[in-house]
């Protein structure tokens, strides 16, 4: 992302490039941290039906699990809200996050804040974010 001053910010971008593992090629990944929040965003190159595969990406392993919290519809998207336990998602950037997951076309998307203030508040943060997301397709 380019700022008005011309500096480049590497917050969200293509996976599998530069020093990133080549297994992430085709994915979009991003992470942003403030003193009291952590947000992770990802998009898969293919449709994924297993939420644990989305939150772990190519590093997914068979024992990875998420806890389904609720289903909702935002922007016409059917969204699964899940909690990502650290114990069954070791190494995932989404560990201990509440994540909203949905599929549009042949891509599955996930966004979620770290659960630092309790699940109800984190659900509201995720919902506010997703309500303002616009997917742009070439």
E strand residue ranges, the chain: 12-14, 28-34, 37-43, 67-74, 77-83, 97-104, 107-114
Kindly report, residue by residue over 3-31, the tens digit of the pLDDT.
334 434 456 677 767 666 778 888 988 88
Strands, sheet with 12-14, edge to edge from the N-terminal-most edge strand: 12-14, 28-34, 37-43, 107-114, 97-104, 77-83, 67-74
3-class secondary-structure state, position 138: coil
Kindly report, residue by residue over 77-128, the tens digit of the pLDDT.
999 999 999 999 888 999 999 999 999 999 999 999 999 999 999 999 999 9
Kindly report, residue by residue over 30-78, the tens digit of the pLDDT.
888 888 888 999 999 999 999 999 999 998 999 999 999 999 999 999 9
Pairwise CA distance, residues 101 & 121, whole Å = 17
């Amino acid at each position: 992302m380019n700022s008005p001053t011309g500096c480049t910010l590497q917050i969200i971008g293509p996976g599998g490039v530069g020093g990133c593992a080549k297994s992430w090629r085709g994915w979009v990944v991003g992470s942003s941290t403030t003193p009291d929040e952590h947000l992770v965003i990802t998009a898969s190159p293919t449709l994924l039906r297993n939420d644990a595969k989305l939150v772990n990406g190519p590093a997914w392993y068979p024992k990875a699990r998420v806890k389904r919290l609720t289903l909702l519809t935002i922007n016409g998207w059917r969204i699964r809200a899940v909690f990502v336990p650290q114990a069954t998602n070791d190494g995932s950037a989404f560990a201990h996050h509440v994540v909203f997951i949905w599929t549009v076309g042949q891509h599955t998307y996930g966004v979620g804040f770290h659960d630092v203030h309790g699940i109800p508040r984190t659900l509201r943060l995720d919902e506010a974010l997703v309500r303002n997301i616009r997917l742009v397709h070439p």
